[in-house]
Amino acid sequence: MLTLKIIREQPSTVVARLAVKGFEAEATVAEIIALDDERKATQTALDANLAQQNVTAKEIGAFLTQGNKEAAELAKLHVAKLKALSAELEQKLGATEQRLNDKMALLPNLPSAQVPAGKTAEDNVVVRQGGDLPKLADNAAPHWELARKYDIIDFELGNKLTGAGFPVYKGRGAKLQRALIAFFLDENTRAGYLEVQPPHLVNADSGFGTGQLPDKEGQMYHATADDFYLIPTAEVPVTNIYRDVILNPAELPIMLTAYTPCFRREAGSYGKDVRGLNRLHQFDKVEIVRFELPRNSYAALEGMVEHVEKIVKKLELPYRILKLCGGDMSFASALTFDFEVYSAAQQKWLEVSSVSNFENFQANRLKCRYRADDKKTQLVHTLNGSSLALPRIVAALLENNQTENGIRIPAALQSYAGFEAIC
């Protein structure tokens, strides 16, 4: 959530920056400022009323000491009226603060000045590219056909058990999943990230803290009986570990990694781009999350991008890194880099990671702060990235490494998988 300070002090800047994301914010900003003015006026009236109550309460004691019971009774009646007014003002203040918070929650994060202009994914900027595009035989198969041929992923069985978008991994397909998860976690912990294993369901406060609620409630599975949400990414529970926490600067940076299944409704997804592993409702992902001092967050973002890049290189996959334009960014992000790997049989690029700096947007929702040198509390910066999401990685590995004799497993994965090929 944007801070009230920046909205009040730089309203035109807020409106202009959000326009880069394609968000029309002028009316909402004006409403926020008006509600904050109303909140301040109500708070001032309440404070004055409470002060008058204290003065009058002291007068009652003085009147009683003087034996002036009539004046004391009049003063008591006045205090009763003041208390009734205080109750009204407190109710009004609470309602105004709620309306103010609701309006502020609707505003996306401001995009960084580094964010390129643009409205769709076609306007994203390729930062760099690596690896050679594989040359496959004319009869090369897409991964869903390879999965059936080698009996490693069963999409029909998943559809029977649950529905579309819930595949069943079998045999070496299941072992490949486990190998990738262990490989990613080991790469992250070697880089200094602490592994954690969070819950797979979260409460609404956690969803709000990272910006999934109220922005993406339609994409989340909701266990209504308990009012819990299945996590769309480990980012949600891991980042919320530090909700309502004041950190010592010496504790920063905090670097965490976690493996979780992820659940996304993906409402409206259909067509050829969702075949096989391209878009699922349940999938596995390893996440990295960082809490940083504001002055260090963009250097940390660069380091996270380089870290994910090293992992993709070890998988021997052709890749490219894109800087997302304003129109293709998430609600909470200030700057995002996407990783895509090339899927040779499909002849298309597949997104496998997003690495983002949220600056203090999530921290303001989380109330995650650190105590600065002047003893005042300041908001931290939060960052996260996929390191990595498995489905499209698996799709590219299967397609790009297919041969007449089976599917080759990259050298970096062989010790984790326990085999060199799927055949």
The domain boundary, picked from 49, 75, 105, lies at: 105
111 falls within a domain: no
Three-class SS state of 402: strand
- Tell me the HSE value of 90 on the side-chain side, using a 13 A CA sphere: 8
CA pair distance 254, 171, nearest whole angstrom: 37
113 falls within a domain: no
Same domain, 350 and 417: yes
Give how many domains the chain has, as a whole number.
2
115 falls within a domain: no
Domain interval for residue 212: 121-422
DSSP code, position 217: G
Q: Are 361 and 383 in contact (CB under 8 A)?
A: no
Q: Are 242 and 213 in contact (CB under 8 A)?
A: no
Same domain, 239 and 272: yes
Same domain, 378 and 232: yes
CA pair distance 98, 96, nearest whole angstrom: 5
363 falls within a domain: yes
310 falls within a domain: yes
Q: Are 398 and 417 in contact (CB under 8 A)?
A: no
Q: Are 404 and 167 in contact (CB under 8 A)?
A: no
Instruction: Please provide the DSSP assignment of 276-287 as one string.
Output: TTSS-SEEEEEE
Specify the CATH number for the domain of residue 81. 1.10.287.40
- Per residue of the chain (423 residues), what is the pLDDT tens digit? 999 999 999 999 999 999 999 999 999 999 999 999 999 999 999 999 999 999 998 898 888 888 888 888 898 999 999 999 999 999 999 999 999 999 999 999 999 999 999 999 999 999 999 999 999 988 899 999 999 999 999 999 999 999 999 999 999 999 999 999 999 999 999 999 999 999 999 999 999 999 999 877 789 999 999 999 999 999 999 999 999 999 999 999 999 999 999 999 976 555 556 799 999 999 999 999 999 999 999 999 999 999 999 999 999 999 999 999 999 999 999 999 999 999 999 999 999 999 999 999 999 999 999 998 888 999 999 999 999 999 999 999 999 999 999 999 999 999 999 999 999
Specify the CATH number for the domain of residue 413. 3.30.930.10
